Structure 1
Amino acid sequence: MRRSKRLNIGMSLAPTWLSGNGWRRSDSGTHTMLGAEFFIDIAHRAEAAKLDFVFRPDTMFVNMALLAKGGGFASLDPTVLLAALARETQKIGLLSTVSTMFMPPYILARQMMSLHWLSQGRAGWNIVTALDGNQNFGLDAMPSSEDRYDRAHEYVEVVQALWESYPEKAMVRDRETGMMADPSLIRPIDHAGRHFKVKGPLNIPAFGRAPVPLVQAGASEAGRQFASRFADAIFASTPDMQAAIEFRLDLRARAAAQGRSADDIRLLPGLSLFLGASRAEAMDLFEATHAGADRGRKLAHVLNLIGLDLSDWPDDRNVTVADLPHPFITRGSQTHAELLQRLIAREDLTVSQLLERPEVNGSGHWRIIGTVEDALAEISQWVDEGAIDGFVLTPGGSTGCMHLALEQLMPALSDAGLLRRDYSGDTFAHHLQNP
């Protein structure tokens, strides 16, 4: 049975349509992507489509191995970028990415609440624990996933306490008595924990009309537990529908076990789209984007994730569960390592086939290659099967594909009752709760 609830949909501000060979197209606009107008255009198109939010992922390092071919380059600071977009938009949510590893919680609490005020309730925080960048902050090695999430739990608790330490009602602004603010309502948090010691209070009042939505990305055991406690939504790599169904059911059960409603947490996988006027055109776009992809990099990615060295294997040899090293410790994302293991266990693939799958040749996201009608049909199927609560658009191949996604696919979803036709509120939290 189709759910009556509409989808929560966001648009990535990372120009995924410029990945691979996409940046080499004459219409890519790559020479303007460090300027405000590049992102203002995307935000305007996303808001015109009535999406919940625009979202900027982030890292705190440069991937030198990918730099020469167009990936791995530096990007604008997401919170600064979204502050610029706050004045250029009116309704759409502004979701920034900040790691709990490298920035003191007091600074994050202040920056995010500042963005919330500047946008009048449209800020959101995508919480990441980071996988790299440690050497830029005096750490020789990254802590384990478990230690990073232990730190993240305390970090979020500190940030939330700081947001509550200076309530908006303390700003009385009483001209007759001369009281600007009531100090009796503003309290230090006096936090002293394993990772942080923060006195407080925050030096900016809370925006009282709507909370800052919290989003998290990570599907490991620690990540799921963290999300079930704190997150309003979780980003995920779910390359097949069954993975999404299982993940969503697990998240909802965990949220209920935390005393929350199962509906309080939303699964929003990334959706990689290669759209064309025909299926052949879409496939041509996909193949042109990935033409000349570095086979050695793909092999290194498999080795890094699951410890399996395929460098001497013939392309037509099958990869099976029996070939997987046991045990192994991944040198990459635990989530993506588990996705790759799951793919090998589920499907009978040769080396060449494996290297073309999104778990290896991409970010592990759900991928649709086809027409707008094809994308509408597949999204509708995932909704019917209870696999998703929404998704994050990551169009690929060309600027034109991004335009098709926002200007044709999103209206088609509205016509199908899966996306709002207009906003019913002005804050990011309202959009999530009232899709």
Structure 2
Amino acid sequence: MSHRKLHIGMSLAPTWLSGDGWRRQDSRVEDLLDSDFYVDVARRAEAAHLDFVFRPDTLFLSAAALENGPGFTSMDPTVLLAALSRETSHIGLLSTVSTSFFPPYIVARQIQSLNWLSKGRTGWNIVTALDGNDNFGIETMPSAEERYARAAEFTQIVRHLWQSFPADSIVCDRTGGRYADSRRVQPIDHRGPFFNVKGPLTLPGYDRAPLPLIQAGASPAGRDFAASVADAVFASAPDMQAAIDLRRDLRARAETHGRSADDILVLPGLSLYLAQTRRQAEELFAETHQRTARVKALANLKAMTGLEVTDWPDDRPVTLADLPPLPSQPRSRTHLDLLLRAIERDTPRLGELLKRPELIGSAHWQVIGTVDDAFDTITAWSEADAIDGFVTLPGGSVDCLHRSINELIPRLAQAGHFRKAYGSDTFYGHLKEK
């Protein structure tokens, strides 16, 4: 394995309750809106010395999806993480906020407020969103190119606002009656294609460490944006080669923006279904998905490609030639490209295709097996320079969550692939540890 230590985060979205996982007696699904539920997960993750916990977010709700599970039911990420900031001391707290629906001034203030509350442990997961426009008076979602152009300007404004009120401009001269050097607190006077923002911000920037920026875009426009500003990328990479290609591309793009290739970390989502034996893990996966997976996969295949296969036998191969003309502006270009790549490379039978993470999940890397299997797979991916770390997405049961934190992470640490103790008390510091 590479001498580099891995950087590992964990999703606070209860992925272990997806599918039918919520139906288990120990799921605690009734506690989804109780902060204690998330405090427990965050404390466990901190005890394992993870870099961060993060809460993904959506700003729309499919009522129909609630029939079979909690779906996207969630609290505001930044408010939730503010509660966790008082219950943890070292782990990073990564909040998700969209650049498509909020004013940059509000976001700059909200994220920096959390950074002060957490004493430098906050990060911003920058997303442009795929849905939710109807909730904000936007008739149709703009193209990916326009969304990322807006995101680039939005992010620039937020960063300038964070600098508009320097922390060291506060002098607290009680004797002289001077609180701050007001000459150093300046408006940003931004005027651009999407926003006009005067500034300055209502609170100073946090001066002990930079605030990390994380991004998840994988389209060409998304990659270029991520390469220009992100400290890490939360990636969808269903196989090792996809991760290798993405990492190489992002590192090369970072250099074109005048950055070092090492300035950007690639952290694929890792969907884990872990049990004592492989057979038990496979049973866990099957039990979790048996009610909804096929219906979801068929619907996703049709939505992404227009291909209707309801009457096809499971042993019929699926080829690119079977696909109708593809939409010019798909909901997610990234997920469509990954699906097309899998069809072209493997010519899978329909039954096999409908089980792939590109259709039943979020196209994330997946391990269904034992802790040993997960350890060996992570080792192989790291040795191949496919990853700089990963974001843990336990599936199926609370037991899988506990195995991920209590068994897999310590195993990686014992082998020298992950830290045994924190070397920093800021989020940025964690990401820069070697």
Query: Which residue is equivalent to 1:167?
Result: 166
Q: How does 1:25-174 map to 2 (within 5 A)?
A: 25-174=24-173
Q: What is the alpha-carbon distance in structure 2 between the residues aligned to residue 108 and residue 408 of structure 1?
A: 37
1:187 aligns with 2:183: no
1:295 aligns with 2:294: yes
Q: What is the alpha-carbon distance in structure 1 between the residues aligned to residue 233 and residue 3 of structure 2?
A: 21
Local SS of the residue matching 1:172: strand
The offset of 1:262, in angstroms, is 0.2
Runs of 4+ in 1 over 4 A off after TM superposition: none
The offset of 1:72, in angstroms, is 2.8
Query: Which residue is equivalent to 1:336?
Result: 335
Query: Which residue is equivalent to 2:361?
Result: 362
Could you give the per-residue CA deviations for residues 13-64 of structure 1, whole angstroms, max 9, x where no partner exists? Answer: 0000000010000000000111010000000000000000000000001022
Q: Which amino acid aligns with 2:211?
A: V
1:269 aligns with 2:275: no
The offset of 1:107, in angstroms, is 0.4
Q: Contact 2:131/2:141 (CA < 8 Å) preserved in 1?
A: yes
Local SS of the residue matching 2:302: helix
Q: What is the alpha-carbon distance in structure 1 between the residues aligned to residue 334 and residue 295 of structure 2?
A: 22
The offset of 1:314, in angstroms, is 2.2
Q: What is the alpha-carbon distance in structure 1 between the residues aligned to residue 307 and residue 329 of structure 2?
A: 10
Q: Contact 2:18/2:71 (CA < 8 Å) preserved in 1?
A: no
Q: Contact 1:173/1:181 (CA < 8 Å) preserved in 2?
A: yes
Q: What is the alpha-carbon distance in structure 2 between the residues aligned to residue 254 and residue 331 of structure 1?
A: 24
The offset of 1:106, in angstroms, is 0.3
Local SS of the residue matching 2:358: coil
Q: What is the alpha-carbon distance in structure 2 between the residues aligned to residue 272 and residue 64 of structure 1?
A: 25
Q: How does 1:184-223 map to 2 (within 5 A)?
A: 184-223=183-222
CA root-mean-square deviation: 1.0
Local SS of the residue matching 2:267: strand
Query: Which residue is equivalent to 2:305?
Result: 306
Query: Which residue is equivalent to 1:10?
Result: 9
The offset of 1:173, in angstroms, is 0.5
Query: Which residue is equivalent to 1:415?
Result: 414
Q: Could you say if the C-alpha distance between residues 390 and 146 of structure 1 is closer, same or farther in structure 2, counting changes exceeding 3 Å? A: same
The offset of 1:393, in angstroms, is 0.2
Q: Contact 2:143/2:329 (CA < 8 Å) preserved in 1?
A: no
Q: Which amino acid aligns with 1:230?
A: V
Q: What is the alpha-carbon distance in structure 2 between the residues aligned to residue 62 and residue 83 of structure 1?
A: 23
The offset of 1:156, in angstroms, is 0.2
Q: Contact 1:306/1:329 (CA < 8 Å) preserved in 2?
A: no
Q: Contact 2:49/2:91 (CA < 8 Å) preserved in 1?
A: yes
Could you give the per-residue CA deviations for residues 59-101 of structure 1, whole angstroms, max 9, x where no partner exists? Answer: 0010223221114342010000000000000000000000001
The offset of 1:329, in angstroms, is 2.5
Q: What is the alpha-carbon distance in structure 1 between the residues aligned to residue 93 and residue 240 of structure 2?
A: 28
The offset of 1:327, in angstroms, is 4.6
Q: Which amino acid aligns with 2:99?
A: T
User: Mean Cα displacement is larger for which, 282-291 or 45-54?
Assistant: 282-291
Q: What is the alpha-carbon distance in structure 1 between the residues aligned to residue 254 and residue 351 of structure 2?
A: 40
Q: What is the alpha-carbon distance in structure 2 between the residues aligned to residue 219 and residue 82 of structure 1?
A: 26
Q: Which amino acid aligns with 1:429?
A: Y
Q: Could you say if the C-alpha distance between residues 283 and 330 of structure 1 is closer, same or farther in structure 2, counting changes exceeding 3 Å? A: farther
Q: Which amino acid aligns with 1:239?
A: P
How many aligned positions are there? 434
Q: Could you say if the C-alpha distance between residues 277 and 74 of structure 1 is closer, same or farther in structure 2, counting changes exceeding 3 Å? A: same
Query: Which residue is equivalent to 1:375?
Result: 374
| Structure 2 residues without counterparts, runs of 5 or longer | none
Q: Which amino acid aligns with 2:157?
A: V
Q: What is the alpha-carbon distance in structure 2 between the residues aligned to residue 413 and residue 330 of structure 1?
A: 41
| Structure 1 residues without counterparts, runs of 5 or longer | none
1:350 aligns with 2:365: no
Local SS of the residue matching 1:234: strand
Q: What is the alpha-carbon distance in structure 1 between the residues aligned to residue 66 and residue 330 of structure 2?
A: 20
- After TM superposition, the score normalised by the length of structure 1 is 0.98
Q: What is the alpha-carbon distance in structure 1 between the residues aligned to residue 324 and residue 163 of structure 2?
A: 48
Q: Contact 2:24/2:397 (CA < 8 Å) preserved in 1?
A: yes
User: Mean Cα displacement is larger for which, 346-355 or 304-313?
Assistant: 304-313
The offset of 1:242, in angstroms, is 0.5
User: Mean Cα displacement is larger for which, 372-381 or 305-314?
Assistant: 305-314
Q: Contact 1:170/1:181 (CA < 8 Å) preserved in 2?
A: yes
Query: Which residue is equivalent to 2:254?
Result: 255
The offset of 1:307, in angstroms, is 2.5
